[in-house]
Amino acid sequence: PVRVTASIIDMGAAMWAVIGILVAVRERDRTGKGGIVDTSLLETGLGWMTILMAAYLSNRELPQRQGSGVDMIVPYQAFAASDGYMMVAAGNDNLFRRLCAALDRPGLAEDPRFRTNGDRVVHRSELIPILSEIFAARPRAEWARLLETTGIPNGPIHTLDQVVADAQVQELGMIQKRPGSDLELIGLPLSFDGLRPPFTKPAPALGEDNESVLG
């Protein structure tokens, strides 16, 4: 098992709480009555597993590990190009045919093992090594050009230094400096009327607010 590095369930529970509070506020405005909003880490964790849970509850079969892929769509996963990993999402039969054409392997789309998504799910262990060998032969940028011209969803999997240097990340202004410091941090991931809220003050030093808080 691999842990998600961000505390996604903690943050997700807070988001659900905010959504619930906003709904309760609107309901109060409509009816004049307040209400109790409740959520938890467990409920949030279950909420993130809707697809897997739906599949399990329908057939009682435990899902198998698929690495960066998914159980029910093939191919929809990361592939290693000659200079790093990239995500490729041929999420339906039409996209798969276009992918095979872009890879100069149109015959794969007519192979009885791979003709439909259901076929590809069954024969995943045969298809993925073929695609992996093809992708390993060229760099990501070259594959991106080929796939984008045919409308195949794809994207490079960046290292952190590449993320920070990414033109869109820079244009969005997501990297912000802490007030009074050269320390850079990730800003709030939303904007209001096109403006991202800036950091207003740094975190307090140890004991800095003792007097105002404790008196």
Domain holding 130: CATH number?
3.30.1540.10
Structural element, H or E, at residue 29: helix 8-31
Cβ–Cβ under 8 Å, residues 185 and 113: no
Instruction: Assess whether 96 and 139 both reside in one domain.
Output: yes
- The number of folded domains in the chain is 3
pLDDT in tens, the chain (215 residues): 778 889 999 999 999 999 999 999 999 999 999 999 999 999 999 999 998 999 999 999 998 888 999 989 999 999 999 999 999 999 999 999 999 999 999 999 999 999 999 999 999 999 999 999 999 999 999 999 999 999 999 999 999 999 999 999 999 999 999 888 889 999 999 999 999 999 988 888 899 999 999 98
For the entire predicted model, the pTM comes to: 0.83
Check whether residue 172 and residue 117 sit in a common domain.
Answer: no
Domain assignment present for 1: no
| pLDDT score for 122 | 97
pLDDT, residue 204, reads 86
Same domain for 153 and 113? yes
Q: 54 lies in a domain?
A: no
DSSP 104-148: T-THHHHSTTTSSHHHHHHTHHHHHHHHHHHHTTS-HHHHHHHHH
Q: How many CA within 13 A on the CB side of residue 153?
A: 10
Q: 10, 93, 111, 119: which is the annotated catalytic residue? A: 10
141 and 97, same structural domain? yes
Continuous segment of H or E residues that includes residue 87? strand 84-89
Same domain, yes or no, for 83 and 144? yes
Task: Give the pLDDT of residue 17.
Answer: 98
Q: How many CB atoms lie within 10 A of CB 153?
A: 14
Do 143 and 167 lie in one domain? The reply is: no
Residue 71 is among the residues annotated as catalytic for this protein: no
Residues 127 and 168 placed together within one structural domain of the fold: no
Query: Residue 120 domain-assigned?
Result: yes
How far does Cα 57 stand from its chain's mean position? 24
Q: What's residue 202's pLDDT?
A: 81
Write out the residue range of the structural domain in which residue 187 sits: 163-204
CA 97/CA 93 separation, integer angstroms: 6
* 185 part of a folded domain: yes
**Residue 213 is assigned to a structural domain of this protein:** no
